[in-house]
Amino acid sequence: MFKTLLILCGSLLLGEAALIKIPLIKCVEEKNSSHELLKLQIKFNITDLATIPPEFHYLDFSFYGKIQIGTPPQDFLVLFDTGSSLLWVPLKPDKENNETYPHRRQYVPEISQTYKPNGKPFFMFYESGGVSGHLVEDTVLLAGKEIKSVTFGATEKQADLTFRHSPYDGVMGMSFFSPEFHYAQPVYYSLMEQHKLEENVFSFYYLRNRNTRLGGELTLGGIDPDHFEGQLHYVNITRKHYWQFEMGSLYVNNWKASGKRQIIADTGCGGIGLPRDDYQRVNRAIGATIDPETFQYVVDCNKIDQLPKVTFKIGDGEFTLNGRDYIKHLKKRCVSGFINIGSSKFWILVLEVCWLYTKGGAVGAAATKS
């Protein structure tokens, strides 16, 4: 399987710098097609929503990692999300709060020697509701590397449909930080400020091989050459809010999408989100047709290996997906991984990839190993 790698690069930092490697845990989750679409639309403030298909449940991979908070350390399983900035985990409820999540780890500030109150409220909206609580400050540990005085959210309420049955406890945001838009800076900003990294780089390697339970790796401070092959290609960040950059063109066999596209790299969502017109054009180009029952673009499951290649032009590199890379198996249907996000002015790109990022202003790409 041919895959891709994205990388953002910055300046060298000195001090007690070292690579921080966090194993990713691969979970098979039941997902809801309507919720996944709403997640993208609400997360990126797309007001003109696409037509929401009927609820359709399917199994797909998700990737999480372990972090620790407090002194002594309290363990949490989090989603590393480049589409948001804040770290948040559930707060252990008091006796008067009946909203409990017994299968999820909960932060107990009273037992941490490094806990400091903040008290400012926060609220984040997701597709089926929101999470809310207040900000606190404590030590965070990533693969044993200590980051002091991190401000993060302790949630008192979480959206039932989104988080009550989720396998992870919270979210660690890894986007750019803007004081006017965000409650607190991402954890990796503190890593850089406290000189914990060799370089201003963090990377994701996703391993979707069904024959192993390993999910890949998040590496902070550099690039693991064992996770990719080929040449790195660089493009500039066009907006330092999300990890947003320009795609030069897209090819599907002899068909080419006219004009350049803005792309947002988001590790918190699955699929490839396209504005309505591009969604229709690309799906027609791969030979998909509308399923009248689910309103989704589908293909013949027996012909996946015959589907056309889809090639992205990013910087001076070209990166190609085969049919098995962009088709999802939903029960007895084979559904296109190109999804409709309505009136958006950008694409949302989540390939089965190794990603690399930094606080700097460039993004790069290369082929990875399967």
Active site residue 266: yes
Neighbours of 224 (CB within 10 A): 14
What are residue 103's phi and psi, to 5 degrees? -85, -5
Residues 182, 355: Cα–Cα separation, whole Å:
23
Q: Which of 138, 169, 266, 325 is catalytic?
A: 266
Beta partners for 90?
Answer: 155
Catalytic residue among 81, 138, 278, 325: 81
Residue 104 to residue 170: CA distance in whole angstroms: 9
Contact 20, 219 (CB under 8 A): yes
3-state secondary structure (DSSP) of residue 135: strand
Q: Report d(CA 82, CA 357) in Å as an integer.
A: 9
DSSP 311-340: EEEETTEEEEE-HHHHEEEETTEEEESEEE
Phi first, then psi: what are they for 93, rounded to 5°? -70, 155
81 is catalytic: yes
User: Which tokens hold the place of 131?
Assistant: 């999470």
Q: How far apart are CA 222 and CA 32, in angstroms?
A: 35
Catalytic residues: 81, 266
